[in-house]
Amino acid sequence: MRLRGRKFKQGLEAQADLVVLEPQKLKGRWHEFFGNDRPIMIEIGMGKGRFITQMSARNPEINYIGMDMFDELLQRGSEKARAIWQEKGEERVPNLALVRGNAEFLEDMFEPGELTRIYLNFSDPWPKSKHGKRRLTHPLFLMRYKRLLSDVGEIHFKTDSLSLFEFSLNSFADTGLQLRNVSLHLHRDELREDLVMTEYETKFVGLGQPIYRLEAVIGARALAEHRERLDAEHAEQERRAEEALARRKSGHAGAAEADDE
């Protein structure tokens, strides 16, 4: 295993254009790494990398970071990313960094406001209550994310674990975060092809298991825009209700006039 680990490390060290083994050195300078000032979105615990590599190919106008602690997973992710972009005619992956790191040390890697969105996909549920602080949706982690996200910052969370989802709902509430698009069975009616699925998700959906999902709106500007959309939706619903009531009243009045005749 030691030789295998050394082999992965050597292979990753040769991929400085894609793989970042010491992310703390880029704290506050991630836009320099990407060579632009586009939004930066990170998946914490990318696993084999299907989600983050496909997101990078689907949205070339956004910078993505896939983070995991294991060199083997970084290597698998790099292979996927290069294969996807080569199919698009690109030898280099222009908008993705694969980072070796631990969520506990995020604030050593990023400056406040440097991230736009955090993806938490099928994180370890840590089922024992004594391990609650290790869950990536524990309030301690959520407050850390809050500090690192920009004024349009969001968290997108998916899991197959009902117990983790229930725990997470309470954590989001305890930290005062605004939730939207909460789903208790994401693919119940049909596959959400607008959302990239992870390897785990594909497996669980194939077994008919429900996928739980939510979005947390955090940044001040994101919250203002969210509330503005809600106000507009409520105003439209109220307008339609008033129109329906007016039509019913008009119909009753017409019927009364007919009876008088």
Strand arrangement, sheet containing 149-159: 19-20, 96-100, 63-68, 40-44, 115-121, 149-159, 212-217, 178-183
Catalytic residue among 108, 124, 151, 231: 124
Q: Is 199 annotated as a binding residue?
A: yes
124 flagged as catalytic: yes
Does residue 113 contact residue 150 with C-beta atoms inside 8 Å? yes
Instruction: Report the Cα 169 to chain-centroid distance in Å.
Output: 15
Task: Find out whether 159 is annotated in a ligand binding site.
Answer: no
Say which DSSP state 68 is in. E
Written as six digits, the tokens of 78 are 């790099």
**116 marked among binding-site residues:** no
Annotation-wise, does 198 bind a ligand?
yes
200 annotated to a ligand binding site:
yes
d(CA 7, CA 10): 5
- Binding residue per annotation — 181? no
Report d(CA 189, CA 247) in Å as an integer: 34
Find where tokens 């690192």 sit: 148
d(CA 56, CA 81): 8
* Residue 68 assigned as binding residue: yes
State yes or no: 201 annotated in a binding site: yes
Q: Which residues are annotated as a binding site?
A: 43, 68, 102, 124, 128, 160, 198-201
Q: Which residues are annotated as a binding site for S-adenosyl-L-methionine?
A: 43, 68, 102, 124
Q: Which residues are annotated as a binding site for substrate?
A: 128, 160, 198-201
Query: Which residues are known catalytic residues?
Result: 124
